[in-house]
Structures are given as structure tokens and as C-alpha cells.
Structure 1
Amino acid sequence: MTRAELGDFLRRRRDALTPAAAGLPGGGRRRAPGLRRDEVASLAHLSVTYYERLEQGRGPHPSAATLAALSGALRLTGDERDHVYRLAGHAAPAGPDETPDPGLLALLHGNASAPGYLADDLGTVLAQNALNVALFGPFTGLPGRDGNLVWRWFTSPQWRDTLEPGGDHEPTGRAYVADLRAVTAQRGHDEAALALVEDLRAVSAEFARMWDEHHVSALHCATKHIVDRRVGRLDLDCVVVTSPHSRQRLLLLLPMAGTGTEARLRGVLSPHRRDVADGRPRS
């Protein structure tokens, strides 16, 4: 690992990122236009001490999950993200080389009180806001297909129970498959879509059964009732916005009025919960 180069690169990207671009309030006087170290640490869900040590070239070897969280916090491009991974001695993560849609990205970080993410049309997450990372852990920059939501649904029972605890998972699975069928056709059955379908068929008999039923529909999202171990029940309305240009999707989970969810979501980001002493993003 090239510690000094990694630290220098992180510092320069932090100095170049304005609070507005990071989705943070810009009030108050600042000595420099960029973010403070504690702001980057908070966005990445790392302890301030850990992040300071990384910038100073004295930190421990960061994990791939930590690098994914930092890439999202610093709003790195695909090329910049790959560079950070290589500086830290990791292979650049596999996945789409897509730059997040700027309009959808602005909406994502402009809705800081609602957990949200930005994904490509195949379901691979390209960006998350801080609250989404705090609730569900980092999805961006993960190896292989781990950052793909369709893949996660059909390969991780734990993920299903997180999103729909004790629920009937069949409708959500069918919705994912029907949307993927529609997207595969829209993409002209390109290599990326067909490879994802082939891999899903290989690992999930349930996916293969649903795929062979040949249902097609646009992506939709049902109301979520999530139980977080830190703050309790969260009642969330799901909203999806799709860009006609990039075909990327923004998904926001809006707190339902009258349920106390908005206050509990603020508790998820309270300082004593977001300071992770060992430097690993909380999942």
C-alpha cells in the first residue's frame, strides 16, 4: 500500500469537495472551501481519528468496504475510485463504469433526511446518501455482484428479512424479475444484462422459476416497515425516480407522517452511533 500517496489523494479530494456537493449545509465561516476531516468521517461512517490517520499516511490497511464508503463520501468518479483501491493495495472493484447521473445525485444528497440510493438500470448501486449507508451498510464499490440489489435479494435471506421482516417475499422477487426482463429487452439483450441473468439463474432456482414465467413490468417499490436494532421500527414510503437520459434510478425511503420515523432516523445518525472506532463502516 502506498500510504503517503493515498493520504495525499484523500486530502486533495476532500479539499476540492464543497459542502453543497456533499449534501451538507454550508452555513458558518470556513477557513477553506472544502470539507473538514470530521465531515468526511461522518459521511463515510468512520471515526475521525481513523480518517485522520489515513490522510496522514499512518493508518492501518483499509478494507474494501472502507474504501467503498470513502469513495461515496468524497463523491469520487469511477476512475478516482479505482485509483483509491489500487493505492490501498486492492484490485479495482468489478462493476459498471458509470458516473452517477448528476441530476439524480443532487436529488439524492438534497434529501438527507430520507435513506436513498442511486442505481443503474440493472440494479447495481452507484451512490448512497449517508442515512442509507447508516441503515443498510455500503453497497458501492463492493466486489463482484455484491453491490447489485437483484443479486442481493436472491442470494441473501438476511437482506430479505432486513427489508421485509417476516413478510411474504414472493411479490418483491417477482417485481425484481419482471423489471429485469423489461430492462434486458430495453438494452437490446446486451452482454451485461444477459450475464447478470445467467449468473442469477445459476445461483437461484427461485429466480430461474420466476424468469421462465416471462412477466414484464416497470420497477415499483412498496411501503417498507423495517425494524432497526438501534432505533426500532421505521415506516417508510418508497419513491422511485428514473432518468430518461441515463436510465439510472433514484430510490428514496420517505418517513411516513405520524409514525415517529423521522425522529428515529435522526437517531441513526447521532454522533455516538456514527463514530466507528475501528474504522469499519457500520452495516
Structure 2
Amino acid sequence: MVETMRENSESAMRETLADFLRRRRDALSPRAVGLQAGPRRRTPGLRRDEVARLASMSATYYERLEQGRGPQPSTGILAGLARALRLDPDERAYLHLLAGHAEPPVVASDRVVDSRLLSVMQAIEATSPAFAADDLATVLAQNELHTTLFGPVAGLPGWEGNLFWCWFVSHRWRRIMVNPPDQQEAIGRAYVAALRVVVAERGHDPAATTLVGRLRAASAEFARMWEEHRVSKPASSPIVTVVDERVGQLDFDHALLVGPRSRQRLYSLHAASGTPTRQRVSRLIELVRQR
């Protein structure tokens, strides 16, 4: 019975995949892909052979997919189909889901900050230090309050603009923290466990493996934690305590927002409840603006 249910489920997925491909093909005009419509077309969409040619596959193979008879397509085949049918990121993710593959990672254009994350970062500027980074934690933008507390990082050359490098190698962000060593250990271990997941999501591409290799060579602490092979999505970790010479101790909770399309991250710090941090942050902003 379990086997029958599994076969029914697979059959339903194949049929849904076939219907999705047909619908997207019918909805895509020839002009959208640089083809002439011509007077002999029966429908406004593309023909099967045209999709196959655009996706770099045989027309017979594509026809079988549309008929729900094809084998499970590889990620390479899916990439070709997504390109040929001009699928947006949500449609591409859905295509992979129907084909039984994990959602493909979306790599944003180099150094272009996700506009949605940027608007959130700017909206909380008066109360919360925040920065946006790519999925490998290279800092792309900081708000004024984050720069005030941690110094400018976005746009620094080499690895100096990377969160993991700032934490494990240059220590530039750890020097102003007064968290005890065990809490800093927990924060670092959480970073490494999250990086493990990102590296796998990116398919161990050159950018990810190069970063890990450089970190392992430059930091014995990172190398030790990496060898533990712990994995986790970004999770909560201890309150971050920062001492600023102008206003005193600041205690922050933290939050992480992941861009739904870009896979970029927005890291933000928020005043911990029951502490005078909110008032001190307001005072710090006043001092900075007066200066």
C-alpha cells in the first residue's frame, strides 16, 4: 500500500510538471525569445521543438516531459528549461520542486543590494545597527548606526569586508564586545554551522570553497569548529554586549532576515528588553549627528 501511494504521488508530480511546462510554453510569445511569430502558428505560444532548442535538449525528450512520461530531469535539464521558458525565481524554484530537486540557490548580482532588505535596513536606522550581506556574509551595505559602532566594513578590499573574516581573523568586531569567552564561542560556532549549510546550498562552488580554505588557513579557531561538521540554519545566540566609550554598555538581541529572491541577509541588532540600551542608542545618534 505504501508503495502504491508513493507511485501515485510520483505520477501526480509528473503530471503537474507536464502541465506547468505546457502552460508556461503557451504563455511565452515567440517575440519574447527573439523568434518571428509567423502566419502559420496555431497558438500564440512557442512550439515544443522551439523550447527544446532553446533549452539545449532533444525535442523527443522535451515532448516526453510534457506528456508526463519522461524520467526525472537533472538539475542541468531544469536550468535549461528555466532559461528557455524565461522563468522567474519563484517559478524556477517550483520547477525544481516538481522535479524532485532542492530549490536552486539564487546568486544576486555582485555588490547589488537587495532593494527590499535595503529599505528595511534604512527604516530601522534610528534604533538598530544593521548590515546587508550576501549569502557568504560579505558585507554589501551598513546603516549609519552599525558603521558608528563597528566601523566601516562594506566595500573593504579582499576578505576584510567579510563577516566571518571580521569575527575569526581580524577580530575587528569582537574587540568591542564584552561577552565572556563561552558566549563568543557559541556565536562563532553558530556562524560556522550556518556557513556549512550555505556552502552545500551553493554546491561547493569556487567562491564558497575559497572562503572556507582561507578561513581554515588563517584561523585555528575556525578550523577546529569546521572540523566538528555541525550544521544549522542561523539560530538565536547570546545577547551581544557592546561597550561604546560615548554612551556606555549596549545590550542587543539580534535578528536575521533572508531575501526571498536574492538570498542576501539582513543582520540587525535590537535593544534587549529590560536594559537602558534604547535610550543610549538614541543618545549616540544625537552625538553622531551633532558631530
TM-score if structure 2 supplies the norm length? 0.58
Residue 127 and residue 274 in structure 1: after superposition, are their counterparts in 2 closer, same or farther (change >3 A)? farther
Task: Give the aligned partner of residue 140 of structure 1.
Answer: 154
Q: Is the 8 A contact 1:116 1:129 kept in 2?
A: yes
Report the secondary structure of 1:162's partner residue.
coil
Q: State the alpha-carbon separation in 1 of the partners of residues 266 and 170 from structure 2.
A: 22
- The match for 1:203 among 201, 215, 218 is 218
- The match for 1:105 among 96, 115, 118 is 118
* Amino-acid identity (%): 49
- Give the counterpart letter for 1:106 in structure 2: S
- Please show how residues 79-228 of structure 1 align to structure 2 within 5 Å: 97-112=110-125, 113-168=127-182, 169-222=184-237, 223-228=239-244
For residue 221 of structure 1, report the CA deviation from its aligned partner.
4.2
The count of residues paired between Structure 1 and Structure 2 equals 180
For residue 150 of structure 1, report the CA deviation from its aligned partner.
0.5
Q: State the alpha-carbon separation in 2 of the partners of residues 131 and 235 from structure 1.
A: 14
For residue 123 of structure 1, report the CA deviation from its aligned partner.
0.8
- Give the counterpart letter for 2:159 in structure 1: R
Out of 137-146 and 167-176, give the one that drifted further.
167-176
Task: Give the aligned partner of residue 87 of structure 2.
Answer: none
Question: Could you list the per-position Cα deviations for residues 214-245 of structure 1 after superposition, in whole angstroms to 9, with x for gaps in the alignment?
Answer: 11111234321211111101111111111131
- Please show how residues 264-283 of structure 1 align to structure 2 within 5 Å: 264-271=280-287, 275=291
Higher RCO, 1 vs 2 (CA within 8 Å, ≥6 residues apart): 1
Residue 184 and residue 135 in structure 1: after superposition, are their counterparts in 2 closer, same or farther (change >3 A)? same
Q: Is the 8 A contact 2:178 2:243 kept in 1?
A: no
Q: State the alpha-carbon separation in 2 of the partners of residues 121 and 265 from structure 1.
A: 28
- Give the counterpart letter for 1:244 in structure 2: P
Q: Which structure has the larger Rg over C-alpha atoms?
A: 2
Question: Could you list the per-position Cα deviations for residues 52-99 of structure 1 after superposition, in whole angstroms to 9, with x for gaps in the alignment?
Answer: xxxxxxxxxxxxxxxxxxxxxxxxxxxxxxxxxxxxxxxxxxxx8231
Q: State the alpha-carbon separation in 1 of the partners of residues 211 and 189 from structure 2.
A: 16
Report the secondary structure of 2:174's partner residue.
helix
Q: State the alpha-carbon separation in 2 of the partners of residues 127 and 240 from structure 1.
A: 15
For residue 268 of structure 1, report the CA deviation from its aligned partner.
1.7
For residue 271 of structure 1, report the CA deviation from its aligned partner.
4.3
Q: State the alpha-carbon separation in 2 of the partners of residues 138 and 165 from structure 1.
A: 22
Task: Give the aligned partner of residue 22 of structure 1.
Answer: none
Q: State the alpha-carbon separation in 1 of the partners of residues 188 and 288 from structure 2.
A: 36
- Give the counterpart letter for 1:172 in structure 2: I
- Give the counterpart letter for 2:202 in structure 1: R
- Give the counterpart letter for 2:247 in structure 1: V
Q: Does 1:244 align with 2:260?
A: yes
Q: Is the 8 A contact 1:221 1:240 kept in 2?
A: no
Question: Could you list the per-position Cα deviations for residues 6-27 of structure 1 after superposition, in whole angstroms to 9, with x for gaps in the alignment?
Answer: xxxxxxxxxxxxxxxxxxxxxx
Q: State the alpha-carbon separation in 1 of the partners of residues 246 and 216 from structure 2.
A: 36
Residue 220 and residue 258 in structure 1: after superposition, are their counterparts in 2 closer, same or farther (change >3 A)? same
Question: Following TM superposition, where does structure 1 have runs of at least 4 consecutive aligned residues deviating by more than 4 angstroms?
Answer: 271-274
Residue 196 and residue 127 in structure 1: after superposition, are their counterparts in 2 closer, same or farther (change >3 A)? same
Residue 133 and residue 201 in structure 1: after superposition, are their counterparts in 2 closer, same or farther (change >3 A)? same
Residue 234 and residue 126 in structure 1: after superposition, are their counterparts in 2 closer, same or farther (change >3 A)? same
- Give the counterpart letter for 2:218 in structure 1: V
Report the secondary structure of 2:167's partner residue.
helix
Residue 272 and residue 185 in structure 1: after superposition, are their counterparts in 2 closer, same or farther (change >3 A)? closer
Q: State the alpha-carbon separation in 2 of the partners of residues 154 and 271 from structure 1.
A: 31
